Amino acid sequence: MKKEDTVKLISAEGFEFVIDKNAAMVSQTIRNMLTSPGDFAETEHQEVTFPEISTTILEKICQYFYWSLQYASGKETEFHIEPELTLELMMAANYLHT
């Protein structure tokens, strides 16, 4: 995986997730952050910090990105959501337009 094909997503606790850029682009919000014109730190370093999203939730979101790419390619599996994460994940997903 080439470095320019990846992005870094950083959780509230500072945990870093390095994932495929095309996976992260599943989120409209992240897409906008990474591609917006101008000298934004996000665009330049290809990394985004989410001070409001915990590590557990951000990990789940990264899993969803990959699941969604798989789904699009025809592998229609079920995406598992732990009941206790439901509401927090819902809010984060809403924020990320995902």
Partner 1 sequence: MMRSKHYTIEEWDTKPIRKIPSLVDLCVQKAVDNVRYLGDVGETDFHLLERFLPHCTVEQLMHIEDSTEDRDLSPVTDKLWKNFYVLQFGANSTNVVVERMKEKRVSFKWRQLYEAKVKDNEEAQQKSFERIKQLYKKENANAHVDKDIPK
**Beta strand pairing call for 47-49 and 6-10:** parallel
Closest to partner 1 by CB, 15 or 79: 79
**Single-letter code of the amino acid located at 47:** E
Residue written as tokens 């984060």? 92
Q: Does 81 bind partner 1 (CB under 8 A)?
A: yes
Q: Does 76 bind partner 1 (CB under 8 A)?
A: yes
Q: Does 32 bind partner 1 (CB under 8 A)?
A: no
Q: Does 79 bind partner 1 (CB under 8 A)?
A: yes
Closest to partner 1 by CB, 43 or 63: 63
8 Å CB contact between 43 and 35: yes
Q: Does 22 bind partner 1 (CB under 8 A)?
A: no
Q: Which 43-72 residues touch partner 1, going by CB under 8 A? A: 61, 64, 68, 71-72
- The number of helix segments (H) and strand segments (E) in the chain equals 5, 3
Q: Provide CB contacts within 8 A for 29, sequence distance 6+.
A: 95, 96, 97, 98
Q: Which residues bind partner 1 (CB under 8 A)?
A: 61, 64, 68, 71-72, 76, 79, 81, 83, 86-91, 93-94, 96, 98
